[in-house]
Amino acid sequence: MNFTIRPAARTDCKDISRMIRELAVYENMQDQVKISHEELERDGFCDSPFYQSLVAEVPEDRGRAVVGYAIFYYTYRTWTGPTVYLEDLYVRPEFRGKGIGKAMMNTVAKVAKQRQCSCLHLSVLDWNQPSIDFYIAKGGRNLTATEGWQFIRFEGDAFENLVQGAPKN
């Protein structure tokens, strides 16, 4: 299949926003999506962006269509230094199995390597076996299974309580 992977532009945020919602439906979490394409533009295309993104394009009758995206950002691991966190890797269902996801993941890894990152981290839902299999086939390790790491989140009232220094009973 003929496709192109390129850095996302501000003008891609509407397509990325649409695909974020598609991904949320697939993950049965559509009620959790609160971000708009305007916020994606603000947060990813400012002087100090919070994230970077790639898009996958395929040719179509009217030019090119965006059919996938990757959103990633840099973190710091005290044991090994800079790392990259792959927040989302999504390819529209009708374009899966054509090498697009692999190409986007490889591109994220290449960009991270140029920034001296030592590894790539990501999270995947425990029931999403096709994605787990994809990542494992590419050489990823399931750290929950092998090392017992658990992913913890503070949000909503828990986050506000943390900000305020209030104890959680």
Alpha helices in the chain (DSSP H): 13-26, 37-44, 100-114, 129-137, 143-146, 156-164
**Vertex 129, ends 44 and 27: CA angle to 5°?**
45
111 burial level (CB within 10 Å; 0-12, 13-18, 19+) = middle
pLDDT band for 62, please (50, 70, 90 cuts): confident
Compute the Cα dihedral for 43, 87, 105, 1 and give only its sign.
Answer: negative
Task: Please compute the mean of the pLDDT values over residues 69-77 and round it to a whole number.
Answer: 97
How high does pLDDT run on average in the chain?
A: 93
Give the single-character DSSP code of 48. Answer: S
Q: Which two tokens stand for residue 60?
A: 């179509």
Q: Half-sphere exposure (CA, 13 Å, Cβ side) for 15?
A: 21
How far is 91 from 65, CA to CA, in rounded Å? 12
How far is 7 from 36, CA to CA, in rounded Å? 19
Q: What is the pLDDT of residues 81-137, one digit of tens each?
A: 999 999 999 999 999 999 999 999 999 999 999 999 999 999 999 999 999 999 999
Compute the Cα dihedral for 28, 40, 55, 151 and give only its sign.
Answer: negative
* Residue 167 confidence (pLDDT): 67
CA 56 to chain centre: 13
| Catalytic site positions | 135
Q: What is the pLDDT of residues 135-152, one digit of tens each?
A: 999 999 999 888 988 888
